[in-house]
Homo-oligomer: A and B are copies of this chain.
Amino acid sequence: MLELRLVQGSLLKKVLEAIKDLVTDANFDCSATGFSLQAMDSSHVALVSLLLRSEGFEHYRCDRNISMGMNLNNMAKMLKCAGNDDIITLKADDGSDTVTFMFESPTQDKISDFEMKLMDVDSEHLGIPEAEYHAIVRMPSTEFARICKDLSSIGDTVVISVTKEGVKFSTSGDIGTANVVCRQNTTVDKPEDATIVEMNEPVSLTFALRYFNSFTKGTPLSNTVTISLSSELPVVVEYKIAEMGHLRFYLAPKIEEDDEEK
């Protein structure tokens, strides 16, 4: 028996909007610790990792560990039927091959339940080692999204270079080249507007922009985004989910010697 009651149901809606374009099918893993997901994107290049800790739920009952395979597009379709202020309760009976989403309007005047078939999804649960990163950049999530979108109108790849002074995003394409420099900047009115660079070693890595533009679908989840970089390691783009956990995206850098795939 599984029953998870999430008062701020919009969080789950946003999470699905953020990952459904990247991952089509995935297993949600429930344990006493929380509700989590780990999946490769459909092209098997990027990794998505979601954690919603049990403490973040108003009610969290998970009798035994369970893994539920879902089609994320279908799940997103159902969650779209929940109001943004609705309380969402996720239920599954032991041994059932379905999951039920219940939506309660704030006034309790409208109660909906949507039942969705579960599916078998191959899961390769990759252990992600905790790593020390050469550089960690925190910046407003909207600004990061804007930069990724702008640069992708010029080129296909982005070079992210971090120095003490700040972080530089560069690209080049047929019509020209572009560089966007964000200076470290902590003297802002609101702390979420700050751009903070923690750097142990300068680092400069190249990535495919199209994945970044998928990652930035996570923007509605948090005002800030954290980008962790080390040479040779996948970059981590993390959106904190208030009081509950995080949504993280991992993407391996392009190696210089790589030819452009076309």
Contact = CB atoms under 8 A, between A and B. Distances in A.
Interface of A: 71, 74, 77-78, 80-81, 98, 107-117, 143, 150-151, 153-154, 175-183, 185, 195
Contacts of A74: 175-176
B77 A117 contact: no
B178 A112 contact: yes
Nearest to A178: B114
A117 B175 contact: yes
A78 B114 contact: no
Nearest to A181: B111
A188 to B, nearest CB: 8
Contacts of A80: 150, 153
Given A78-B176, A115-B176, A175-B117, A110 B153 contact: no
A110 B150 CA distance: 13
A113 B175 contact: no
Nearest to A185: B109
A110 B77 contact: no
B176 A116 contact: yes
Nearest to A180: B112
B113 A178 contact: yes
Contacts of A78: 154, 175-176, 178
Contacts of A110: 143, 180-183
A187 to B, nearest CB: 10
Contact of A195 (B109, B111, B195): B109
Contacts of A107: 185
Contacts of A111: 180-181, 183
Given A117-B176, A176-B74, A185-B107, A81 B153 contact: yes
Contacts of A114: 154, 176-179
Given A81-B150, A175-B71, A181 B112 contact: yes
Given A77-B175, A108-B183, A117-B175, 4 more contacts: A77-B153, A78-B176, A78-B178, A107-B185
- Residue of A78, A110, A177 most packed against chain B (CB within 10 A): A110
A111 to B, nearest CB: 5
B182 A109 contact: yes
Given A153-B80, A154-B78, A113 B185 contact: no
